[in-house]
Amino acid sequence: MFLIAGLGNPGDKYSLTRHNVGFLVIDEIAKRLITTSNINNSNFKAIVIKAPNTLLVKPQTFMNLSGESILPIADYYNIPNENIIVIHDDLDLKFGSVKFKIGGGHGGHNGLRSIDANIDKDYIRVRIGIGKPEDKKDVANYVLNNFSKDELNQLNDIISHVIGAIDAIKKEPLEKVKSTFTIK
């Protein structure tokens, strides 16, 4: 079983923000699946959608506490970290870049910091580049602002690419996925 978590913030006002790109990927995966069912368990603090051999997760704890959602789900379903895939925005990558890694630092991303504190660092990360604000002091506003029109036009292709990569991660070694699906 795989746990695929898209990071973001709950609520309509955040739905198209850069910080919610993980939620957008989960929503698109769920749309494409033939059979799914929602799992209702208040201990999970998440929207959890069960699909064949996969749990799709959208933490509802707000970004900075994402680990408090992922840990109880992984524990309940006995999912090892190597089968946990976290999709998140990355300021250090230009918009549209897609990279993959296991472990490493959180790079100041509070959602990853929370996950690292709760389950450790050895899970798969799908990093989607959102670019940086011109003023480095404006990071919070930048990630919580909506994508531009131009970015939204490109986002469907990026999300489709990421979904293909996630399908490959479930079947192939990460190194092969990196060589096939990385976008710089």
Sorted by sequence, the CB contacts under 8 Å of residue 26 that are 6+ apart come out as 4, 5, 6, 49, 56, 57, 58, 87
Distance separating alpha carbons of residues 135 and 178, to the nearest angstrom: 31
Has 161 been annotated as catalytic? no
Q: By C-alpha distance, which of 71, 87, 72 is closest to 26? A: 87
Distance separating alpha carbons of residues 54 and 15, to the nearest angstrom: 23
Active-site annotation, residues: 19
